[in-house]
Amino acid sequence: MTATTRPAFHLAIPVDDLERVRGFYGGVLGLAEGRSTDHWVDWNFYGHQLVTHVVPVAERVDAGRNPVDGHEVPVPHFGLVLSVEDFHELAGRVRDAGIAFVIEPYLRFAGEPGEQWTMFLRDPAGNALEFKAFRDESQIFAK
């Protein structure tokens, strides 16, 4: 593996309604659908494999919340680091779809190392997603 090559991750998450999930991941987020059955769907999550498995859930609950910048960040959550342009385009698609943000898009660490845009939202099954965009992606781990 070279310094510019990143391995793709595989993540499987529980959902309770594949059609609503298709509308969200395929429609709102614009992800391509891969293999599927009546019980799961593979999604091309920007080159990573995200699998939504039907698991009946009476109520979705976060394991916890963590205070960050005056916001209560849901835990667990997952997401991607996008370009600034793609981040804002996705935020617009989420707004246009009428999906409420858990945490509205905002800029963190302005003018500091690691300056980044971030936003949190939930899929139809309640899974929390965070999307980020760094002014300088080489500062993802900057202190």
> What is the pLDDT, as a whole number, of residue 19?
95
Q: Confidence band (pLDDT; 50, 70, 90) for 60?
A: low
For 20-30, what is the mean pLDDT? 96
More confident residue, 57 or 118: 118
pLDDT-based confidence at residue 52 (cuts at 50, 70, 90)? very high
Instruction: Measure the CA–CA gap between 18 and 62, rounded to whole angstroms.
Output: 21
Strands 32-36 and 40-45: antiparallel
**Residue among 49, 37, 39, 45 nearest 11 (CA):** 49
User: Can you give the pLDDT at residue 39?
Assistant: 93
Ranges of H-type helices in 15-109: 18-21, 84-96
- The pTM is what? 0.85
pLDDT of residue 61: 61
Nearest Cα neighbor of 93 from 43, 28, 49 is 28
pLDDT greater than 60 at residue 102: yes
Share of the chain above pLDDT 90, in %: 71
